[in-house]
Amino acid sequence: MTAALEKLRKVALRLLQAVPTVFGILVVCFLLTRALPGDPAAYFAGDMADAESIEEVRRTMGLDQSLPMQFVSYLKDLAQGNLGMAISTGQPVTAELANRLPASLELTLGALVLSFLIAVPLGVLAATRPNTWIDHLCRFLVTAGVSLPTFFTGLALMYVFYYLLDWAPAPMGRLDLMFLPPEPITGFLTIDAIIAGDWEVLRAALAQLALPTITLALFTLAPIARMTRAAMLQAIASEFVRTARAAGLSGRRVLVTYAFRNALLPVVTTLGMVFSFVLGANVLVEKVFAWPGIGSFAVEALVVSDYAAVQGFVLSMALLFVALNLLIDVIYTLIDPRVGEEA
Amino acid sequence: MSVPLLDINRLSIDFVTRNGTVRAIDDISLAVGKGETLGIVGESGSGKSVTSYAVMRILDRAGRIAGGSIQYGGVSLHKAKERDLRDIRGREISMIFQNPRAALNPIRRIGQQVADVLIQHSQATRANAREKAIDMLRAVKIRDPEKRYEAYPYELSGGMCQRVVIAIALACKPRLLIADEPTTGLDVTTQKAVMDLIMELTREFNMSTILITHDLGLAAAYCDRLVVMEKGKVIEANGASELFHAPHEAYTRQLLQATPHRDSNVRDLLPDELRKEAISLPAQRTPGNPILSVRHLRKQFGKPGAEGSHLAVKDLSFQIREGESLGLVGESGCGKSTTSAMVMRLLDTSEGEIEFLGEDIAPVQASKFAAHPLRGKLQMVFQDPTDSLNPRWTAAQSIADPLNRLARDMDSKAREQRVVELAGLVGLPINLLNRFPHQLSGGQKARVGIARAIALQPKLLILDEPTAALDVSVQAVVLNLLEDLKHRLGMSYLFISHDLNVVRLLCDRIMVMQNGEVVEEDNASELLDNPKTDYTRSLLAAIPHPPETGKSAERASV
């Protein structure tokens, strides 16, 4: 019981450590957009505006005030969930993000789960049977995964499965136009469809998800499989696995409880890193599959220097990273008793 | 011993390496009877561990039994199936390993690791495994076994971890225990406790034991019979006392000779031909003026009174005179390494003076000492000859490093010459200077470490267990080298070790430390022959005592 409390205390302590990071992100995010070239006031006022109306816009936007004052009002707006208006779409940034973030997350998480499910068993098998066909297959997939750019795999998959075989639906967004999206609750179409009990929609959403998910999964498979294989090899060669074998423990017990649990630690770390790659790679995949995600939104906003939108995007991404790192640390604390002990 | 419990007959083992097949074990035969304790003694590379892995059939992938047979109680282990072996391992034959902390799963509670074995071999059900594991922990004399069941290996000391490994090995009451260097790296007192525990339990369970060790003294003290191995072959096998008293083979004799014991002096360790060549040592040494005076040295880790704070060194004072060797002895955690790090100015002091060559260097910050003019006069030789060398530097680069940093007035030509000269001083063949550490043997790496330390002609050399990682025969040569260098170069030594027999060989005076304090200090012979404190006595008593020989009397008369 005390052990559980102790763990809880460690987790809470780690959560507290995230507070300064979040504040730092807010500051950087705020300064970054102020440093962007171009005058937002002139942009907002429109092409026909004269100097006076630009000044007018500047005042209403609060851009005439000092930087610290601007920061305070930025924080005030933020506290109310107000991230400003996106010029390119004319919608509040908050609404845009709330719409698009789940689309991106659904894609990214789906890809990560898929690649994790394939890569980890593959890496484990490759490590336990070195120089067999499974080891070679692992090596081939890893090489292919790192050397093929995502837009290429995306297009290739589309060509084969949509154009040639016609197995996949048209790569046009999250749901075929024939279907009505379910009541948005989580924003994840698949989950909302399950909640609504609409199996037809679920099938259609999954069909749309399949190709982009596979594209991203192929990309993320490589580092995870490689790390799993390396960590497993190291764990198998370790002295405690030798002890376990010498004590006559069954092969499965040695492999799972002794080798794999230890090998999992670096794999979890890699997973966190891979997640950040994928958010970057997302932009390309979203473009190729016309996916209404946050990546394509950000690229469009950047092109027209829509600073509220960019700010909102950077902020949400940064917060996502912080949350993710927190999650990884918490998982780490839970599986490795040594974390946070050597202070 | 009609039918032996374990019978190894003409066993050969090959290892497949990148450079072709290497024969690690070459046609060896040995047997262990019921209730017998067999010692397998040999230096690194002798194949003693490989033999035991072959018995357990846990050789790594590259190893292969190339010939011969291993019979255990009617089972042919050398061709048994993996599934059958699993029932034999842990239940019939088990094993204890060197480096106990690494031998335990770092992220699993130690009690569960014991319970795993019990459940595997149907000695316990899930319901009572915990209870039985706790009983086993109690049997290996772990205090508070109910509480310790929940502990992770990193929370326990090395000695405690070894007890857990023993508990795992003996949980199912096997009939044969193989102990592979079970006490290497542990303090003498812990070594004694662990060895006594193994002997007590194996006797209680009526088990046979194979003790694999590089320490002849340890093997002779605990075993009925001894087998000496060298380069994959059995050199000699005999009863422990017979082998110790009357070794037949030259290699055994050399090994016996190289093992320091109570009444050997440093030259005795060398093989005859080397001893003849050695320079004669002055019989009486008169130390000169003090070069190092440490007064009231203290080191406090953490804030006093705070949780986890620790007073590592308490009010320590000592002197080292010119040409003198001072031994610093104690168990791990006694503060000897902290003391040496402070003298070496690698660690800031909390209080006290360190007067070196007339100057108090204690106030100099540890991070700034590298630029101090006295830095070159104070050098250190480290415990692990491999880890203390940069793996990407050749021997010559390592030796030249202090010259490059501190002898600015030397030109590159002079430096090169000095490196060659230093190699000659420490007996490192010149053609090895271009090699990298992994291409050198342990003894050669130790020589590189010593050459690097003496490059700037230091006045004081701090030796931190310089031979702990070496084989006895190499240790003998390195100890003699250190003794020669001291006289030729007029250095003083601060020699840190837990091995009293080694300290005795090199040191004029010995200081025994416990819990950050000096408990006893005296001339080496006086302290070791007539210890005044119980602590020193317990340290001395913990040194394994081989069966008494007539040798000490014999040597006295020579």
pLDDT value of position A208: 86
Q: Which of A242, A243, A262 sits opposite B168 (nearest CB)?
A: A243
- Degrees, nearest 5: CA angle A145-A146-A147: 95
Is B497 contained in some domain? yes
A180 in B contact zone (CB under 8 Å): no
Q: A19 to chain B nearest CA, in Å?
A: 26
pLDDT value of position A280: 67
What is the per-residue pLDDT across B319-374, written as a single tens digit (0 to 9) for each? 999 989 999 998 888 888 889 999 999 989 998 999 999 889 988 888 888 888 88
Amino acid type, B109: R
Is B34 contained in some domain? no
Q: Which of B90, B107, B165 sits opposite A248 (nearest CB)?
A: B90
Task: Show the domain range for A222.
Answer: 94-335
Q: 220-239 in A: which are within 8 Å (CB) of B?
A: 237-239
Is B239 contained in some domain? no
How many domains is chain B partitioned into structurally?
1
Phi (first) and psi of residue B290, to 5 degrees: -65, 135
**CA–CA gap between residue B337 and residue B312 (Å, rounded):** 10
Averaged pLDDT, A22-27: 86
A132 in B contact zone (CB under 8 Å): no
B87/A341 touch (CB, cutoff 8 Å), yes or no: no
To test the contact with chain A by mutation, choose from B55, B77, B87, B107 the residue with the greatest count of A C-beta atoms within 10 A, namely B107
pLDDT of A223 above 50: yes
The overall average pLDDT reported for chain A is 83
Q: Are strands B63-72 and B6-17 parallel, antiparallel or unpaired?
A: antiparallel
Is B208 contained in some domain? no
Q: Which residues from A are below 8 Å from B167, CB to CB? A: none
Q: B313 to chain A nearest CA, in Å?
A: 21
- With a pLDDT cut of 70, the percent of chain A lying above it is 95
Is A168 contained in some domain? yes
Q: In chain A, whose CA is at the least distance from the CA of B113?
A: A244
pLDDT value of position B554: 42
**CA–CA gap between residue B50 and residue A128 (Å, rounded):** 22
Contact criterion met (CB below 8 Å) for B189 and A264: no
> Residue B323 is encoded by which pair of tokens?
């040409």
Contact criterion met (CB below 8 Å) for B172 and B117: yes
Give the position of tokens 């007035």.
B409
B482-517 in b/e form (b: 16+ CB < 10 A) is bbbbbeeeebbbbbbbbbbbbbbbbbbbbbbbbebe
Q: Read off the pLDDT band of A54 (50, 70, 90).
A: confident
B285-321 in b/e form (b: 16+ CB < 10 A) is eebeebbbbbbebbbeeeeeeeeeeebbbbebebbbb
Is A29 contained in some domain? no
Residues of chain B by 3-state class (helix, strand, coil), percent to 5 = 40, 25, 35
Q: In chain B, whose CA is at the least distance from the CA of A265?
A: B107
Q: In chain B, whose CA is at the least distance from the CA of A3?
A: B150
CATH label of the domain that carries residue A228: 1.10.3720.10
To test the contact with chain B by mutation, choose from A2, A128, A129, A240 the residue with the greatest count of B C-beta atoms within 10 A, namely A240
Q: A136 to chain B nearest CA, in Å?
A: 18
Q: Which residues from B are below 8 Å from A338, CB to CB? A: 106-107, 152, 154
**CA–CA gap between residue A297 and residue A292 (Å, rounded):** 8
Is A8 contained in some domain? no
Contacts across the A-B interface (CB distance below 8 Å): 89
Element (H, E) at B508: none
Q: 317-336 in A: which are within 8 Å (CB) of B?
A: 335-336
Give DSSP secondary structure letters for B114-158: HHHHHHHTTSS-TTTHHHHHHHHHHHTT-SSHHHHTT--GGGS-H
pLDDT of A88 above 80: no
Is B148 contained in some domain? no
Beta strands in B231-289 (DSSP E): 233-239
Element (H, E) at A337: none
A263 in B contact zone (CB under 8 Å): no
Low-confidence ranges of chain B (pLDDT < 50): 1, 550-558
pLDDT of A291 above 90: no
pLDDT value of position B169: 92
A249/B117 touch (CB, cutoff 8 Å), yes or no: yes
- Degrees, nearest 5: CA angle A271-A276-A279: 125
Please state the length of chain B: 558
Is B539 contained in some domain? yes
pLDDT value of position A23: 87
**CA–CA gap between residue A15 and residue A13 (Å, rounded):** 5
Question: Nearest to residue A181, comparing CAs of A193, A169, A195, A168?
Answer: A193
CATH label of the domain that carries residue B422: 3.40.50.300
Contact criterion met (CB below 8 Å) for B296 and B480: no
Is A13 contained in some domain? no
Question: Nearest to residue A286, comparing CAs of A111, A98, A29?
Answer: A111
Q: Which residues from A are below 8 Å from B107, CB to CB? A: 261-262, 265, 335-338
B94/A3 touch (CB, cutoff 8 Å), yes or no: no
**CA–CA gap between residue B274 and residue B484 (Å, rounded):** 13
Q: Which residues from A are below 8 Å from B87, CB to CB? A: 248
Q: Which of A251, A253, A335 sits opposite B116 (nearest CB)?
A: A253
> Residue A274 is encoded by which pair of tokens?
């891979």
**CA–CA gap between residue B219 and residue B227 (Å, rounded):** 10
Task: Show the domain range for B411.
Answer: 290-557
The strand pairing partners of B351, in sequence order, are B298
Contact criterion met (CB below 8 Å) for B303 and B326: no
CA B345 centroid distance within chain: 26
pLDDT value of position A342: 42
Is A12 contained in some domain? no
DSSP state of B77: G
Please state the length of chain A: 343
**CA–CA gap between residue A181 and residue A189 (Å, rounded):** 7
A148 in B contact zone (CB under 8 Å): no
Q: Which of A246, A337, A343 sits opposite B58 (nearest CB)?
A: A246
Give the position of tokens 């019981």.
A1
pLDDT value of position B222: 92
To test the contact with chain A by mutation, choose from B116, B161, B173, B178 the residue with the greatest count of A C-beta atoms within 10 A, namely B116
User: Which has the higher per-residue pLDDT, A302 or B208?
Assistant: B208
A338 in B contact zone (CB under 8 Å): yes
B103 in A contact zone (CB under 8 Å): yes
pLDDT value of position B449: 93
pLDDT value of position B553: 39
**CA–CA gap between residue B405 and residue B414 (Å, rounded):** 14
Q: In chain B, whose CA is at the least distance from the CA of A240?
A: B103
Q: Which of A242, A243, A248 sits opposite B91 (nearest CB)?
A: A248
A261/B107 touch (CB, cutoff 8 Å), yes or no: yes
Neighbours of B255 (CB within 10 A): 24
Q: B200 to chain A nearest CA, in Å?
A: 21
Q: B12 to chain A nearest CA, in Å?
A: 21
Is A28 contained in some domain? no
What is the per-residue pLDDT across A99-141, written as a single tens digit (0 to 9) for each? 888 888 888 889 999 999 999 999 999 998 888 898 898 889 8
User: Which has the higher per-residue pLDDT, A332 or B305?
Assistant: A332
pLDDT value of position B9: 92
CA atoms lying within 13 Å on the CB side of residue B177: 33
To test the contact with chain A by mutation, choose from B57, B104, B105 the residue with the greatest count of A C-beta atoms within 10 A, namely B105
Q: Helices then strands (H, E): number in chain A?
A: 14, 0
B120/A250 touch (CB, cutoff 8 Å), yes or no: yes
Q: In chain B, whose CA is at the least distance from the CA of A263?
A: B107
In this prediction the pTM is: 0.81
How many domains is chain A partitioned into structurally?
1
Order of strands, sheet of B75-76, starting from the edge strand that comes earlier in the sequence? B20-32, B6-17, B63-72, B75-76
Report how far apart the first and last C-alpha atoms of chain A are (Å, whole number). 23
Three-state DSSP class for residue A311? helix
> Residue A8 is encoded by which pair of tokens?
């809880």
B90 in A contact zone (CB under 8 Å): yes
